[in-house]
Structure 1
Amino acid sequence: MTDSAVRAGRCQVHSKTVLSFVSALMILLLYAAYGHIGKAGNHLKTDYMDREQWNKVMYNATESHAMKQKQMAAAVKKVRLLCLILTMEKDLNTKAAAVNKTWATRCDKHFYVIYSTQKRHDFLNVAVPDDRHKLVFKMRKAYEEVYQKYINDFDFLLKADDDTYVIVENLKYLLWHHDANKPGYLGFHFNKFVNSGYMSGGAGYVISNRGLRNLVERGYQNGVCELQKRKDDPENSEDIETGRCLETAGVPVWTSLDLHGRETFHAYPLERHLFGNLPQYIYSWAKHPIRNGKECCSRYAISYHYVKPDAIYFLHHMLYETTVFGLADNLEINGPVFKFDRIE
């Protein structure tokens, strides 16, 4: 073998060694960043800078798109979500049944907040009769029970109605950008009644673990969230009063918009947002300008409200049982998706 051939062979081996070393180093960096995420059973340990650094590593990694997709999905899946779904006994075989057969079981733990004599493992029975004017008391009882029994079992808590449809994977993806040990809550943001605004109860809203602790410890237990008669909200609406108490307890609002300023939580069904068939009040009440047409909703939409049982089954089938050939690999892994650097 000639000297030039030997040198070429050594160079080739050296190149392979360098490539192997670079690949191994990149994997170690990913695991190091990934290690910031708490193990199952613990709260998320990251703060904003951890997330930012992790994103830089992930979005600039040289691994294949499929590998990055898999790693991101595994990280997001570790976010522990507890779902509280408000329902009534008369709706168990219709609305609640549709929710139970579709998105509810995608939560890590879920309960139906209900006034009932029935006993079920997924019931959170509260001793508050069904009455729209008593919803605020019903949810307060539910939050206090979750605080007492399950506070260490979740990172974020979702409150939704039995006519809400939730895309749980997208919700977890949004929540992954936040630290559960910091107080905060998010949803469809109404800019009314409360200084910082409040989240639509029907569209669903999410409270961080630390936020729920503040709600109970600083709000309910300190007696600073007692209801008062208000001319602008005589029925003491649950979502408004919860928002008021969260603000008093030091829980700020986090944005839920995507990077393009589109909503992820929606107070009405998809078709009404698409066609602009919305009640007039929402245009002045919404914190952010309402968009119609395809810009109405984020590609990573999270929730829709006032969805009938048949439509819940339909949405679920189209999302999870239907695939468009050539478009299955649609995760935007090359850059951020949400405005997670904004806290309002």
Structure 2
Amino acid sequence: MVSHRRGFHVFYLCIILLLLVALYWNTQAKLKASRVGRIAKSGSIATQSIVADPLYDKIRVLCLVTYKYWYSDAARYVKRTWGRHCNVLLLVSGQSDLELEPYVPLVNTTDNWTLVREGLIYAFEYYQHEVDWFLKIEDWSFVAVENLRYMLQKFSSADPIYLGYELKYPGTNLPFNYWKSGYVLSREALRRYTMEAKKPDTKHCMKKQGFTEDLELGRCLMHVGVVTVDTRDEYGHETFIPIVTSELFIKGYEYIPWLRNMSWHFTDLHTVPISRRAITFHVSYPPKMFDLYYFMYRVRIFGTPLRNSMELLS
């Protein structure tokens, strides 16, 4: 009788042990699935950033990206790659989107200048206390946000300035920043622009559709006392790249006469000198953003020590 009871005890203990093992593996599987789910929501494993930016909380940047709603792929690539390095990513379009959740102006339009103008005003009114700087960039662009913060620490967002690749106004030879390379407005610069642009009778910050973004914005900013500043590095090399880099490397000034004639910092070199701390790049094919993201943040060269976040900025 005693031996039968011992047999039952052993049997029950085995059952309990099996249940505990099954419970353990089930818990581990759920934790793994939860982790994969979190990664899927924020982007693929291949695009997880390894950079811990020491300036992230000190130099707060809002990235404003406009896009045409009938082609939203480029904006999605931005959101899944470099856009996640911004303190605030604000997408602006003429139509709503469940994934991108853009700001859609009340004046529903596909006109670029209208989207930019309304987006800038919205960004200031809703985020002026959350960020210090406002980057306006095209969806066909890639931005090294850490390098942007590194450069911006030299300036104060309380000053009325805006930064980018400087061109010369035809006729006047006054500087303005090229729209395709992106430009950054200080909080004070955007405040002044917003106050003037919202005036119903303004003649300096026009609301008409079809205007050229950089010329019209530059004209308005000039009126309210906002100036451009030199964004070149200590070697005189450009940080905001005006055109696709392959065209600069292969063609240079010789085959891009408008760039040669309009560049504010024209040099005698064959082409625009690109800084090692370059900030913005215009891409010819939006999926290349994933390539740029991988090579910029994840590739390590054999024989060199693993670099920390500060060394990535040097």
Task: State the TM-score, normalizing by the size of structure 1.
Answer: 0.67
The aligned counterpart of 1:274 is 249
- The answer on whether the counterparts of 2:193 and 2:224 sit within 8 Å (CA) in structure 1 is yes
Give per-residue Cα distances to partners, 1:152-200, cap 9 Å, x unaligned: 1110000001101111100111111110111100101111247632111
Call closer, same or farther: CA 1:130–1:273 in 2, change over 3 Å: farther
Identity, % of aligned positions: 24
- The answer on whether the counterparts of 2:112 and 2:210 sit within 8 Å (CA) in structure 1 is no
Call closer, same or farther: CA 1:252–1:151 in 2, change over 3 Å: same
Q: Does 1:214 align with 2:189?
A: no
Structure 1: where are the runs of 5+ without partners?
Answer: 1-69, 338-344
What letter corresponds to residue 90 of structure 1 in structure 2? W
Q: Distance in 1 between matches of 2:270 and 2:107?
A: 39
Q: Does 1:223 align with 2:198?
A: no
CA-CA distance at 1:149 after TM superposition: 1.5
Moved more, 122-131 or 277-286: 122-131
**Over aligned residues, Cα RMSD in angstroms?**
2.9
The aligned counterpart of 2:58 is 78
Give per-residue Cα distances to partners, 1:279-333, cap 9 Å, x unaligned: 221110111115556x721000001114312221111111011012316548888
2:235 is aligned, of 250, 253, 260, to 260
Q: Distance in 2 between matches of 1:198 and 1:327?
A: 41
Call closer, same or farther: CA 1:263–1:328 in 2, change over 3 Å: farther
The aligned counterpart of 2:294 is 317
Give per-residue Cα distances to partners, 1:202-234, cap 9 Å, x unaligned: 1110000011001112454371424399xxxx9
Give per-residue Cα distances to partners, 1:5-40, cap 9 Å, x unaligned: xxxxxxxxxxxxxxxxxxxxxxxxxxxxxxxxxxxx
User: Which contiguous aligned blocks of 4+ residues in structure 1 show a shift greater than 6 angstroms?
Assistant: 330-333
Q: Distance in 2 between matches of 1:327 and 1:225?
A: 54
The aligned counterpart of 1:23 is none
- The answer on whether the counterparts of 1:185 and 1:206 sit within 8 Å (CA) in structure 2 is yes
Give per-residue Cα distances to partners, 1:125-161, cap 9 Å, x unaligned: 1244554xx3222211112212221111110000001
Q: Distance in 1 between matches of 2:292 and 2:207?
A: 40
- The answer on whether the counterparts of 1:88 and 1:130 sit within 8 Å (CA) in structure 2 is no
Give per-residue Cα distances to partners, 1:65-106, cap 9 Å, x unaligned: xxxxx9x952465200001001111222x2112111111111
Structure 2 SS opposite 1:124: coil
CA-CA distance at 1:242 after TM superposition: 0.7
Call closer, same or farther: CA 1:122–1:110 in 2, change over 3 Å: farther
Give per-residue Cα distances to partners, 1:227-250, cap 9 Å, x unaligned: 399xxxx95201110111111111
CA-CA distance at 1:258 after TM superposition: 0.4
Q: Distance in 2 between matches of 1:307 and 1:169?
A: 23
The aligned counterpart of 2:91 is 112
Call closer, same or farther: CA 1:228–1:172 in 2, change over 3 Å: closer
Q: Does 1:160 align with 2:137?
A: yes
Alignment of 1:27-176 (within 5 A): 74-75=54-55, 77-92=57-72, 94-118=73-97, 122-131=101-110, 134-176=111-153
Q: Distance in 2 between matches of 1:238 and 1:186?
A: 15
Q: Distance in 1 between matches of 2:98 and 2:159?
A: 34
Structure 2: where are the runs of 5+ without partners?
Answer: 1-50
The aligned counterpart of 2:38 is none
Say which one has the larger Rg.
2
Q: How many residues align?
A: 257
